[in-house]
Amino acid sequence: MRLYLTISVLLISAFTLYGQGSMNEGFHLLDSGNFAGAEEFFDAYLREAPENKTALICYGRAVGLNGNPTKAISHFEALKEQYPGDLE
């Protein structure tokens, strides 16, 4: 019985960690200055994982750095309302 429980926990953990996919490509796009590509990447990523705070923050950064600071500010203000007191 313990073995089944252990295997179940490992499988659930693996699906949770890898189910949303990696954001490394988006991080690389931001780091390399490809802000349009990063905006597209994180926009697509958020369609699959709309509550991922890291992706939400990176999307806002990409939008602002891609020449739309007004949209980025609105995005971050909405995040601040949604997550009051969370200064991630």
In a domain, 16, yes or no: no
15-41: pLDDT as tens digits: 444 555 799 999 999 999 999 999 999
pLDDT-derived band at 87 (thresholds 50, 70, 90) equals: confident
pLDDT at 14: 45
Helices and strands per DSSP (H, E), number in the chain: 5, 0
The answer to whether 41 and 28 have CB atoms below 8 angstroms apart is: no
pLDDT at position 78 over 70: yes
Domain for residue 76, yes or no? yes
Question: Does residue 2 form part of some domain?
Answer: no
Is residue 47 scored above 60 in pLDDT?
Answer: yes
CA-CA-CA-CA dihedral for 48, 10, 53, 84, to nearest 10:
130
Specify the CATH number for the domain of residue 50: 1.25.40
Q: What is the pLDDT of residue 7?
A: 52
Show the domain range for 73.
21-82
Give the model's pLDDT for residue 6: 52
Query: Of 66, 71, 18, which Cα lies nearest the Cα of 38?
Result: 66
Nearest CA to 75 among 41, 49, 65, 34? 65
Give the chain's domain count. Answer: 1
